[in-house]
C-alpha cells in the first residue's frame, strides 16, 4: 500500500495575509460548525444577518451535545443551555 505524504504550503491572499494549506489527514484535525444550506440559499432568509446564521450553527452544535448528554424535556425534545454571555463570547 502506498503511503501518502501530508504536506503544508503557504499561500498569499490579495489582502496580504498568509494562510497554510493543509492536505490529507492533516486537514481532518479541524472541527467545523454546520450551517444549513437553506439559511444561505433560500431567499426567505436573505434578510437574516450572517451572525444570526452563524449563531444557528452554534446552537445546532450545542443541540448535538445536549442529545449526547440526554438533555430532553417532558416531550422528548432536546434542549440547550447557552447563555447570552456565552453567545457573545463565541461570536466575538
At 16, the pLDDT band (50, 70, 90 cuts) reads low
CA 49, 51, 53: angle at the middle one, nearest 5? Answer: 75
Q: Taking 50 as the threshold, does the pLDDT of residue 2 lie above it?
A: no
pLDDT score recorded for residue 24: 73
Asked if the structure places residue 36 within a domain, the reply is yes
Interatomic CA distance for residues 44 and 63, integer angstroms: 24
Q: Which domain holds residue 15?
A: 8-91
Q: Is residue 67 part of a domain?
A: yes
Nearest to 39 by CA among 61, 62, 55, 27: 55
Give the per-residue pLDDT at 82: 95
* pLDDT at residue 13, rounded to an integer: 56
Q: Does residue 46 fall inside a structural domain?
A: yes
Is 57 part of any domain? yes
Is residue 71, in this structure, part of any structural domain at all?
yes
pLDDT for the residue 12: 55
For residue range 28-81, list pLDDT tens digits in order.
Answer: 777 889 999 999 999 999 999 999 999 999 999 999 999 999 999 999 999 999
Please tell me the total count of domains within the chain: 1
Instruction: Determine, yes or no, domain membership for 3.
Output: no
Name every residue whose Cβ is closer than 8 Å to that of residue 38 and which is 6 or more positions away in sequence.
45
Q: Residue 22 forms beta bridges with which residues?
A: 8
Residue 41 lies in a domain: yes
Domain membership flag for residue 64: yes
Amino acid at each position: 500500500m502506498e503511503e501518502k505524504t501530508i504536506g503544508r504550503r503557504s499561500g498569499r491572499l490579495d489582502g496580504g495575509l498568509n494562510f497554510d494549506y493543509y492536505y490529507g489527514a492533516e486537514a481532518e484535525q479541524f472541527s467545523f460548525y454546520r450551517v444549513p444550506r437553506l439559511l444561505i440559499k433560500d431567499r426567505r432568509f436573505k434578510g437574516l444577518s450572517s451572525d444570526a446564521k452563524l449563531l444557528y450553527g452554534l446552537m445546532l452544535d450545542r443541540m448535538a451535545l445536549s442529545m449526547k448528554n440526554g438533555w430532553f424535556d417532558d416531550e422528548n425534545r432536546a434542549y440547550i443551555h447557552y447563555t447570552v454571555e456565552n453567545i457573545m463570547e463565541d461570536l466575538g
